[in-house]
Amino acid sequence: MARAVWRDRIQAARAQRAAQHRVRERRTVTHRDGARCEVDGRWLTNFCGNDYLGLSQHFKVTATLGDVAAREGAGGVASHLVCGHHAAHEALERELADWLGAPRALLFGSGYLANLAVVQALLGDEDVCVQDRLNHASLIDAARLAGCRLRRYPHADAEGAIRQLRSVPDGMAMLATDGVFSMDGDIAPLRELSLASRVQKALMYVDDAHGVGVIGPDGRGSVAAARMGVEQVPLQLATLGKALGGYGAAVVGDADLINHLAETARPYIYTTALPPAQAAASLAAVKLARTEHWRRERLHELAVRLRERTKVHGFKLLPSDTPIQPLVCGDERVAMAMAHALEMQGFWVAAIRPPTVPEGSARLRITLSALHTPADVDALVEALAWARDAVEHGYDAVA
């Protein structure tokens, strides 16, 4: 058999993506101002970001970033276990642990790295990781790289989780789920999954990247919203790059588990620490998220408003009480045309296509921010109605 040529392979793969209308292109943002951003010379109202609480541009956050960078420098210098662990990291870990009601927290460079770390540090060849079928790609990749057996259950199906856990009775077991699902906006049935994990003696891990800051008492996320703590969910992920508006992530939970991660997790040991200035800025954001409850209240009001007004126009959004409000189009060409039509009206809404979502479920992923106004939501709904008519009638504007 002849050896494959890399150039032929990547050209064939791109041709296949083009035939399926799945070529992905980066857009360059020149400037951000509140909920608006300049893209390719045009100002658009952004309804596709994850800055749910609107903290990425808050003056306390940005001022802290600049002040600490001026004093401590721009970089993390080294890994945490060499000489990169700064007092700013320590303060942020303590604040996160206190906020989320856990003994300890451990910082990572990203949520992706954190998920790799948790699964790889705890599971091996003889173990099993049982996951929701719609979990984030990083959890799926983590199980594959750990070499453990990966079992997936139907979305939000606790009984399905039990069946998968029972199917592999030996070895250590982990039940891993998103708290809030990033493409559907719904919340995992955490109490039922917790019961399944206890019955099957599995460690429960919740990736709450899209829940922390947004839902639950004081914005403590989906685990707190389900009235559970470290006993039921020994480990959970909190991202710093979504509701908190910064960059990085933390795993919070049982002290022994966190210590084990700090000493053995390769994505923690063998990478440079977050810049201290970024950690300090995230600490400022956490303090705002804990106290400024009006941001979550506004998000709820905007979500209700969006759902009510889209219903009047005959749209049916997926069930969601979170800032993620998806409108399923089915055909990815329709989703792309709708997104283009919305951009012509001044709105940036991402069209999400397979393989990010299942086949036949391409969608517009509408996301809300505390920076949006009711008028922004009303204008978006009117633009959605126009875009639907434009696509159905084949207007030149969306060709």
Q: What is the pTM of this model?
A: 0.95
Answer yes or no: is 110 a known binding residue: no
Tell me whether residue 210 is one of the annotated catalytic residues: yes
Total of domains in the chain: 2
Regarding whether 299 and 155 lie in a shared domain, the answer is no
**pLDDT, tens digit, for every residue of 225-242?**
999 999 999 999 999 999
Tokens 């219903």 -> residue: 311
Q: Is 239 annotated as belonging to a binding site? A: yes
Q: Do both 45 and 164 map to the same domain?
A: no
Q: What is the mean pLDDT of the chain?
A: 96
Token pair recorded at residue 200 = 């099957």
Same domain membership, residue 286 and residue 299: no
What gap in Å lies between CA 222 and CA 224, rounded to an integer?
Answer: 5
* Catalytic residue list contains 58: no
Same domain, 214 and 348: no
Running DSSP on this structure, what letter comes out for residue 398? Answer: G
Q: In which residue ranges of the chain is pLDDT below 70?
A: 395-399
Annotated active-site residue in 56, 110, 182, 320: 182
Instruction: Kindly report the three-state secondary structure assignment for every residue of 44-102.
Output: EEECCCCCCCCCCCCHHHHHHHHHHHHHHCCCCCCCHHHHHCCHHHHHHHHHHHHHHCC
Is position 8 within any domain? no
Count of C-beta atoms within a 10 Å radius of residue 1 = 3
Q: Give the tokens for residue 6.
A: 């890399």
**Which one of 234, 268, 291 terminates a domain?**
291
**Domain interval for residue 213:** 59-291
Q: CB of 78 within 8 A of CB of 273?
A: yes
Question: Which structure tokens are listed for 108?
Answer: 């990572």
Decide if 195 is inside a domain: yes
Looking at the fold, whether 358 and 342 belong to one and the same domain comes out as yes
111 annotated binding-site participant = yes
Position 9 in a domain: no
Q: Which residues are within 8 A (CB) of 139 and not within 5 positions of it... i.e. 6 or more apart? A: 115, 119, 131, 176, 178, 207
The catalytically annotated residue of 85, 86, 210, 372 is 210
Task: Please identify, among 291, 320, 339, the residue that sits at the C-terminal boundary of a domain.
Answer: 291
Task: Please give the pLDDT value at position 349.
Answer: 98
| Residue 343 and residue 253 share a domain | no
For the question of residue 182 being annotated catalytic, the response is yes
User: Before 355, cis peptide (omega within 30)?
Assistant: yes
**Res 70: pLDDT:** 98
